[in-house]
Structure 1
Amino acid sequence: MSRSAASMSTTTPPSRPPTRSTPPSRRKAIRRSDSPWTAQGSGSGAQPPRRRRAYSDDQSGWLVGPTWLYISLAVAVFVAAAAVAVIQATGSDDAPTQAALEADQAETVEQQAAEQEQSQPQAEAQVAAQTDEQQHAVEAPSDQAQAQAQDAQQQQAPAQSESQADDPADDPLRGFIVPIANACISQHEGHLPGANRAYRNDGVHEGLDFYEWASCVVIDEFTPILAAKDGLVIRADLNYVDITPDDWARFEAANWAGEEILDELRGRQVYIDHGRGIVTRYAHLSAIAQGVAVGARVQQGQIIGFPGESGQREVYTDENDVHLHFEIRVGDGWLGQGQSPQQARQLYLHAFGLPDE
């Protein structure tokens, strides 16, 4: 043996015995034999694995189908039954409760309606009583005042006919009545037209003042004031607001000058237009009678208001200054303007149809 041959013999590994190849069909058969669900043998002579018992439709078994299906159905039926029971139980409880609530509400509404129906006549009666009281507070003096006015007119009629016998029948400065029934014309000079009012920036008094102590009758806040003649209301201070100490200080600082301040000093007022340039003023009123408003027509002797002290500082002090300030205006002036207080008094006596004094 040569060296090369010997070398080759030492380097060439011994050959493996040929590997036995398993046909593909056999490999599949082996995989199937490993499955417990197949009936084929493994080819090794071992016992085939036990098959699971197939479900049968044989009448000898009372359950048909898999057990888990029956268990699931049973659970579902139980749950459904429980849900129905809960719903029924809940519904049976709620229904009477709702019905009871509705019944209670209906009963409450009926009771409230009955109470309202019972209380309504009482409320209406109370309102009517209050209305009557309010009307009585303003209108109560009406009958008495009308009677007083009629008496005063009857007493004044003879004197008026005598004093006006020689006067023209259509004289616009005749035919008035005294605005407070049975009152006399004060002889106190300070109450007459033309009286000096030095505190009013050297002004003068432009009308008549009716005070209880100088006018022959009781004069207070309940004494009716009468329209001196038929006419049309052209001013009625229904929303009047009383003056304050600050207002009085303002008047003093202005030295009482100016028509605006003089108007404030007259307080709550009513003006009646009698035509032909004749207007009567009623000032310092405590109240205005119902139905007296701008545009209303009033008849002679009709109650138009009540005396007071509006426009005076006594309205906010403990002092008493209740009276009526009355004027007969002639055009832009006033009856007795330019005359002495006593001469002006005679003119008013003529206007009222009273005899000279």
Structure 2
Amino acid sequence: MSAGSATPAVSLRGLCKSFGAVEAVAGVDLDIADGEFFSMLGPSGSGKTTVLRMIAGFEPPTAGRVLLGGRDVTRLAPFERDVNTVFQDYALFPHMTVQQNVEYGLRVRKVGRAERRARATEALRGVRLDGLADRRPAALSGGQRQRVALARALVVRPKVLLLDEPLGALDLKLREQMQVELKALQREVGITFVFVTHDQEEALTMSDRVAVFENGRIAQVGTPAEVYERPATPFVAGFVGTSNLLSGDVARSVLGRDGTFSIRPEKIRLVGQPTAPGRGAASDAPELELSTATDEETSATGRVAEVVYAGASTRFVVDLDAGARLVVTQQNLTTSSADVAALRGTPVRLAWRTEHAVAVPVPAVPTPLAKESANAYR
């Protein structure tokens, strides 16, 4: 929370929403701090967008309360709440100029013409579009239209800005640029941003904290590092980035422990190619900066089942002798696609620091998505 306020910008208490027999949101409790960039992350149908719509007032909750700055707004109309929403399609008025689009919310609020123009000009300058005020939306790029939508939402100075996958329609390069710009803008204006996305990298890149949704409930809330490095459930481990999950007999054989454990692909190293009894090392095996495991590491042997070259990095799929399948990501510091492709079918040894095998609590009755994640690399 900001230094000047101990009251959350948004509080949700027992929030539920059903559509007939379908329970879209099943009892969400959440506090979002004043001035925080907060992301709601989850797959399609997990309830994140429905929660955003209930905060905005577009959907009435079946049960529970929505509080903004400590004020109960559960039964208030959208225009009675001090929030604004940016949608994926931006919803700009095509017959209006950029300046007129940005001024529209102020005109509805009966702000005087001179003040409207001054505030709209300031908002456009804040998103670096002050030179395009006289253009119409059709003459703008996708990224520029997105910034116009942001300026229109920010110009009315809401306490909370809700963003419903606003970058989803952009191409990858522009989306990455806008992620940086949007986070910088949020820091500059100091408004609470509540951002909905299904893109894990986007949530990790931009957020102060992230709530991961699963089947209408919050599976975990934490900083990006907490959610990524210490997943609370197998679902979170499998959904947020790529994770290797070891459990049952495999965990006992490889780690010497009972339970379910998550190991991120980038934490694992290819450290050597073991020699089978009675045979020498393969003479045509490529050299790949192989070394030996240290005393602080856990190691396991296996065989490379697949190699995926991705330019800056390579992803290895390794079938362990213990019976599991692990994914390993390695930066291509000195290797090329020809080098790594030759490793397919090669016996290898893997190693990782012992603390990087993180114990993951398993629900007593796993949901279908959690079961799928837990079995992904078994």
Whether TM-score is above 0.5 comes out as no
Sort the TM-score into its range (normalised by shorter chain): under 0.3
Please, what TM-score do these two structures have when normalized by structure 1? 0.22
Could you say which structure has the higher strand fraction?
2
| Structure with greater Cα Rg | 1
Could you say which structure has the higher helix fraction?
1
